[in-house]
């Protein structure tokens, strides 16, 4: 019985030691993403996650950051260039700004869930109108 307890204790200690070793092992940094810029004719640019491959009369590549497979005719491509690490950092989707409220959409916050609401002002106007007529129509009772 004591031998079994000792063996179990040794097994338990070695399991904890292996777990600690795995946690202390340094993690290699992830390789920087390689992006390619595709300049289009007459103007415009696309960013690719991988090197565009020429298939027939079109270039095939995965668009950055969505990963959507896109085909562009060879005749519309002016040049394909590799982006520098600083340009890759600038093309990061976390660096983009969200568009504010558009005039045709109205505000996105509020009790109405984004739809413009004039109910409060309409009720106040009705109450004011009713208060004025109530004073005029009230007779001596």
- 0.75 exceeded by pTM: no
Beta-bridged to residue 58, according to DSSP, are 55, 73
What is the edge-to-edge ordering of all strands in the sheet holding 45-48? 45-48, 36-40, 77-82
**Each residue of 56-104: pLDDT tens digit?**
999 999 998 888 999 999 999 999 999 888 887 776 666 556 667 666 6
What is the helix (H) or strand (E) element at residue 119, kind and residue range?
Answer: helix 119-137
- Looking at the domain covering 36-91, what would its CATH class be? mainly beta
Task: Please enumerate in sequence order all residues whose Cβ is within 8 A of that of 38, keeping only pairs 6 or more positions apart, or say none.
Answer: 45, 46, 47, 48, 52, 59, 61, 72, 77, 79, 80
């Amino acid at each position: 019985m004591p031998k079994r307890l000792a063996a179990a204790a040794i097994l338990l200690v070695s399991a904890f030691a292996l777990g600690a070793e795995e946690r202390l092992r340094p993690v290699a940094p992830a390789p920087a993403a390689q992006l390619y810029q595709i300049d289009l004719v007459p103007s415009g640019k696309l960013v690719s996650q991988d090197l565009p491959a020429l298939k027939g009369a079109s270039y095939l590549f995965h668009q950055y950051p969505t990963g959507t497979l896109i085909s562009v005719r060879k005749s519309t491509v002016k040049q394909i260039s590799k982006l520098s690490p600083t340009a890759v950092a600038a093309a990061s989707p976390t660096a983009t700004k969200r568009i504010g409220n558009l005039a045709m959409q109205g505000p996105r916050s509020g009790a109405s869930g984004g739809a413009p609401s004039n109910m409060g002002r309409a009720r106040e106007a009705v109450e004011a109108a009713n208060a004025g007529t109530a004073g005029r129509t009230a007779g001596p009772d």
